[in-house]
Chains A and B, each alone.
Chain A
Amino acid sequence: MNRGIPQRPPAGALSLHIPEPPARPGQPPDFSRLVIPKAGEQPRPAFDAPASQLRDCAYGLVRVLDESGAAVGEWNPQLDAETLRGGLRHMLLTRSFDERMMRAQRQGKTSFYIKSTGEEAVSVAQAYALDPNDMLFPSYRQQGLLLARDWSMVDMMCQIYNNPGDRLKGRQLPIMYSVKEKGFFSISGNLGTQFPQAVGWAMASAYKHDTRIAAAWVGDGTTAEGDFHHALTFAAVYRAPVVLNVVNNQWAISSYQAIAGGDETTFAARAVGYGLPGLRVDGNDFLAVYAATRWAAQRARENHGATLLELFTYRVAPHSTSDDPSRYRPENEAEKWPLGDPIERLKQHLIVLGEWSEERHQALVAEVEEQVKAAQKEAEAQGTLGTAPASPATMFEDVFKDMPPHLRKQRQEAGF
């Protein structure tokens, strides 16, 4: 007879701990465990301070925008209104782009899409804080980097549609962009592999006495991968000029961040054991993300090596179009996220500054939506995965620089 596992273990017996999120579907969202320090509370250390003096940063939270929308504290990057409005615009563009492409997938125009809703400040503010020539090694939810670097939306959409205009020739899953001319590395789709590659790129840049640095992104879940730790080891050993980002959006598909170890310590604190500085940042605060990234970039550029940034945010979107979050988390959890919405917060800040209004905001929303709509029309004129995908004639190219005889033969066999 199967006696099963006793509900209550006998005294002195071991018990296995399986982390569970505070709330599941049907329960009210519960973020009471989170400790959210006040905006402006955390001091801003000198960018060249030794990592041994920065350990506390890994357990704090860099925040600049307070509840009223004012920018407070030492981390305030003092950005001018023009830059702030630019950031707002790129975040809105990213959100609008996401909405349209999600809908396009639902309409059968492509197979797959990933939204970054609620995480727009991460990509956009970081793109603003890095130099335009710095090399980006993104994961799959950093489309805002490309949009903030003013890359063509039509080009991105053609990739999503795998149509004849797809620069990746129909070979890659939608959204796995690659844009060399914008310093945007080819997205793998495997998790975390780009993290140590970014370190290698940064080592090469240092070897060549270049001035460009690298930046790379993974999610909270991917910090459990070996590649994450390999990256930190090499980055520390060789003082590689790289900004290593963990976007902690609380959810890795259906696994909440404690399944990657997030209840035991912070992800920023992973840096401490490697002798790297780790900064934990309010990821929904455009100014905090900008300031922390700028700090880490300056540190890297002036030969003080790598920084691990944990961008503390919330994945409002499903993991992808193949995911239904209502199956594993409370439906209204996003609304209760205590750090708010990045777009709303930056908008409020600009209003507080007297540099923005509700009317101007609505006009901007309408404008970016038109812009995205026009781009979509242009991209769809070149075809979609559902109607006119890219030609398979190039399927055998680029496996190697020059096509070896066996591939020429197989191409012939395939009829191209």
Chain B
Amino acid sequence: MATMNMIQAINSAMDVMLAKDPDVVVFGEDVGYFGGVFRATAGLQQKHGLTRVFDTPICEAGIIATAIGMGVYGLRPVAEIQFADYILPAFDQLVSEASRLRYRSGGEFWAPITVRTPCGGGIFGGQTHSQSPESIFTHVSGLKTVMPSNPYDAKGLLIAAIEEDDPVIFLEPKRIYNGPFDGHHDRPLTSWAKYPQSEVPEGHYRIPLGQAAMVRPGSACTILTYGTMVHVSLAAVAESGLDAEVIDLRTLFPLDVETIEASVKKTGRCVVVHEASRTSGLGAELMAVVQEQCFHHLEAPIQRVTGWDTPYPHAFEWQYFPGPDRVQAALKKVMED
């Protein structure tokens, strides 16, 4: 065991996989010698060699397209898109190509690619370094979408993603790279070292895709959330004194409907929390699933807490970001209704 923050855990996952499987290659903008703008690949080129961890042109569509071609050859490419906001030039390659290759070729070809990309706000990145685009990927059949909320999960999920034979969008909430940011931006951040989830095995382990985690058991209501908002939700629960159950979805698609259903049927109340904007966000799907599966168990309308339906505004970061107060307000409402 070692103590790792999320960046170190992600780095360790790639390190382990590079050592284990000669078909794993890691590439992206500034990923090679320099080790990535967030340092996620620091030291990997020096350790594993120039042809295994390398820089690419600033061309996201080309990065994903070449990753698909390498995957078709038989490699397991791990591509980094420097910010999730920059993934859109590669959208066609992901949506029309990577996701459908297995289907359209009758199972002859597939693209076992992992696309790592830092997402989310809270870092004063403005509209082009803060977005949470998960729902545009969860809408696509053939892609798996993952977002970890802590170092232990990040490593285990990333290893599972790399070993997966289907394309995986691996979204990394950059605000929690160094510590579990709980939305209280005016308070100092506690580092991961103070939390048990920073205890990370140095070797290989997997957290299977498609399995949610219950991070706080409770009976009063269910919070369905993921990424940074897991920690914001936990803070809101602690501050409200409510015995809420918090589910960290971890894999956003395919959803762990079983875990969601069991929890909401038990508590009878549900709040959905995500940082991404509201309309047609993943929250809408979660509410639909809960309504379909648990309608007769619901005691109150489902609430959702999200970013607003605006671009991410630079100077109004904390008015945009759905912090613990907004989660608390939703908890209050779901209990009163």
- Tell me whether A197 and B104 are in contact in the complex, defined as CB-CB below 8 angstroms, given that A399-B141, A405-B254 are known contacts: no
Contact call A406/B257, Cβ cutoff below 8 A: yes
Chain A minimum-CB-distance residue to B251:
A404
Of A180, A214, A400, the contact of B109 (CB 8 Å cutoff): A180
Of B57, B92, B210, the contact of A233 (CB 8 Å cutoff): B57
The reply to whether the CB of A171 lies closer than 8 angstroms to some CB of chain B is: yes
Contact call B106/A230, Cβ cutoff below 8 A: no
The reply to whether the CB of A24 lies closer than 8 angstroms to some CB of chain B is: no
The reply to whether the CB of A224 lies closer than 8 angstroms to some CB of chain B is: no
Contact call B70/A200, Cβ cutoff below 8 A: yes
- Complex Cα spacing A179 to B257, Å: 37
The reply to whether the CB of B61 lies closer than 8 angstroms to some CB of chain A is: yes
Chain A minimum-CB-distance residue to B108:
A180
Of B70, B92, B107, B254, the contact of A201 (CB 8 Å cutoff): B70
Q: In the assembled complex, which residues on chain A have CB atoms less than 8 Å from the CB atom of B96? A: 188, 190, 193
Contact call A197/B68, Cβ cutoff below 8 A: yes
- Tell me whether A233 and B109 are in contact in the complex, defined as CB-CB below 8 angstroms, given that A186-B101, A193-B96, A405-B254 are known contacts: no
The reply to whether the CB of A67 lies closer than 8 angstroms to some CB of chain B is: no
Among A188, A190, A200, A208, find the residue whose CB has the most chain B CB atoms closer than 10 A.
A200
Give the contact-size bracket for chain B: 35 or more
Q: In the assembled complex, which residues on chain B have CB atoms less than 8 Å from the CB atom of A398? A: 102-103, 106-107
- Tell me whether A186 and B68 are in contact in the complex, defined as CB-CB below 8 angstroms, given that A205-B73, A207-B75, A405-B257 are known contacts: no
Contact call A197/B69, Cβ cutoff below 8 A: yes
Of A180, A186, A203, A405, the contact of B104 (CB 8 Å cutoff): A186
Scoring A residues 357 to 388 as 1 if CB is less than 8 Å from chain B, else 0, what string do you get? 00000000000000000000000000000000
- Complex Cα spacing A205 to B103, Å: 24
The reply to whether the CB of B72 lies closer than 8 angstroms to some CB of chain A is: yes
- Tell me whether A178 and B108 are in contact in the complex, defined as CB-CB below 8 angstroms, given that A171-B103, A200-B70, A400-B144 are known contacts: yes
Total A-B Cβ pairs within 8 A: 137
The reply to whether the CB of A231 lies closer than 8 angstroms to some CB of chain B is: yes
- Tell me whether A196 and B66 are in contact in the complex, defined as CB-CB below 8 angstroms, given that A188-B97, A406-B254 are known contacts: yes
Of B65, B105, B110, B141, the contact of A200 (CB 8 Å cutoff): B65
Q: In the assembled complex, which residues on chain B have CB atoms less than 8 Å from the CB atom of A180? A: 105, 108-109
Contact call A193/B65, Cβ cutoff below 8 A: yes
Chain B minimum-CB-distance residue to A187:
B104
- Complex Cα spacing A397 to B102, Å: 9
Contact call B61/A230, Cβ cutoff below 8 A: yes
Give B162 Cβ to nearest chain A Cβ, in Å.
14
Contact call B69/A397, Cβ cutoff below 8 A: no
- Tell me whether A167 and B106 are in contact in the complex, defined as CB-CB below 8 angstroms, given that A227-B61, A234-B59, A401-B165 are known contacts: yes
Contact call B97/A404, Cβ cutoff below 8 A: no
Scoring B residues 114 to 147 as 1 if CB is less than 8 Å from chain A, else 0, what string do you get? 0000000000000000000000000001101000
Give B285 Cβ to nearest chain A Cβ, in Å.
11
Contact call A204/B69, Cβ cutoff below 8 A: yes
Give B222 Cβ to nearest chain A Cβ, in Å.
19
The reply to whether the CB of A237 lies closer than 8 angstroms to some CB of chain B is: yes
The reply to whether the CB of B166 lies closer than 8 angstroms to some CB of chain A is: yes
Of A203, A227, A230, the contact of B70 (CB 8 Å cutoff): A203
Q: In the assembled complex, which residues on chain B have CB atoms less than 8 Å from the CB atom of A193? A: 65, 92-93, 96-97
Q: In the assembled complex, which residues on chain B have CB atoms less than 8 Å from the CB atom of A42? A: none
Q: In the assembled complex, which residues on chain A have CB atoms less than 8 Å from the CB atom of B108? A: 167, 178-180, 186
Among B56, B69, B165, B257, find the residue whose CB has the most chain A CB atoms closer than 10 A.
B69
- Tell me whether A178 and B65 are in contact in the complex, defined as CB-CB below 8 angstroms, given that A200-B70, A201-B73, A204-B74 are known contacts: no
Contact call B51/A207, Cβ cutoff below 8 A: yes
- Complex Cα spacing A397 to B107, Å: 9
Chain B minimum-CB-distance residue to A202:
B69
- Complex Cα spacing A214 to B69, Å: 10
Contact call B106/A233, Cβ cutoff below 8 A: no
Q: In the assembled complex, which residues on chain A have CB atoms less than 8 Å from the CB atom of B57? A: 233-234, 237
The reply to whether the CB of A157 lies closer than 8 angstroms to some CB of chain B is: no
Give the contact-size bracket for chain A: 35 or more
Q: In the assembled complex, which residues on chain B have CB atoms less than 8 Å from the CB atom of A237? A: 57
- Complex Cα spacing A169 to B107, Å: 10
Interface residues of A in 191-222 (CB under 8 A from B): 193, 195-205, 207-208, 214
Of B70, B102, B104, B107, the contact of A204 (CB 8 Å cutoff): B70
- Tell me whether A400 and B142 are in contact in the complex, defined as CB-CB below 8 angstroms, given that A190-B96, A227-B61 are known contacts: yes
Chain A minimum-CB-distance residue to B256:
A405
Contact call A196/B65, Cβ cutoff below 8 A: yes
- Complex Cα spacing A214 to B72, Å: 12
Contact call B69/A196, Cβ cutoff below 8 A: yes
- Complex Cα spacing A75 to B142, Å: 47
Interface residues of A in 135-171 (CB under 8 A from B): 135, 137, 166-169, 171
Chain A minimum-CB-distance residue to B99:
A399
Interface residues of A in 98-147 (CB under 8 A from B): 135, 137
The reply to whether the CB of A93 lies closer than 8 angstroms to some CB of chain B is: no
The reply to whether the CB of A172 lies closer than 8 angstroms to some CB of chain B is: yes
Give A236 Cβ to nearest chain B Cβ, in Å.
9
Q: In the assembled complex, which residues on chain B have CB atoms less than 8 Å from the CB atom of A401? A: 102, 110, 165-166
Give B138 Cβ to nearest chain A Cβ, in Å.
11
The reply to whether the CB of A91 lies closer than 8 angstroms to some CB of chain B is: no
Chain B minimum-CB-distance residue to A204:
B73
- Tell me whether A200 and B257 are in contact in the complex, defined as CB-CB below 8 angstroms, given that A193-B92, A401-B102 are known contacts: no
Contact call B70/A178, Cβ cutoff below 8 A: no
Across the A-B interface, give the 10 residue pairs with the lowest CB-CB distance, nearest first.
A200-B69, A200-B66, A196-B65, A230-B62, A204-B73, A186-B105, A201-B69, A197-B69, A404-B254, A178-B105
23 interchain pairs, CB-CB under 8 A: A176-B104, A179-B108, A180-B108, A186-B108, A188-B104, A196-B61, A199-B65, A200-B65, A200-B67, A200-B68, A201-B73, A203-B69, A204-B74, A208-B75, A214-B69, A230-B59, A233-B59, A237-B57, A399-B102, A399-B142, A400-B142, A400-B144, A406-B254
Q: Given known contacts A237-B57, A399-B102, A399-B103, what 13 new A-B pairs fall within 8 Å (CB)?
A: A168-B104, A172-B104, A176-B104, A186-B105, A195-B65, A200-B65, A201-B70, A208-B73, A226-B61, A226-B89, A233-B59, A398-B107, A401-B102
